[in-house]
Structure 1
């Protein structure tokens, strides 16, 4: 069986050990005013009108709050969240990503 550049053999995915994090994630640990301002400036300086965010599984409960904090400070910017971490929170979802025009 062959694999494409964007997939792994099914057996290796089924046998993969998953990572667990026993530490409770707090919103203030992952999103501060400084981080918000840096993101806003980066989006503005690159003149993006669409932004897609991806979070590790533990951060997903905070994703809507982060999107709201960005879009409330940016006119005409749409933000999206990639939330289909089918292979674990370690991996960037390159398959679902489509360049936005």
Structure 2
């Protein structure tokens, strides 16, 4: 899966166009961006196995922040079950259950 697959339609192409317009490089195929952790400018290409990070250290630091909940995506808790009350309703379909004799 690539970054393009994760972004909404057209967003990746917009990012590429913007990066090329802001690039000082003569080669328009070079995409420069900043490391999300240390903000160091890097070339975003297939030769950087840690992209979008500049190094393995920054990649691991970012992972640690997610694992320790210092970075989160806002939303409902995964422990909240909005449909739990449906299980008690008589009209809820039951699958793979043996009939009571």
Q: TM-score, normalised by structure 1?
A: 0.29
Larger Rg: 2
Q: Which has the higher helix share?
A: 1
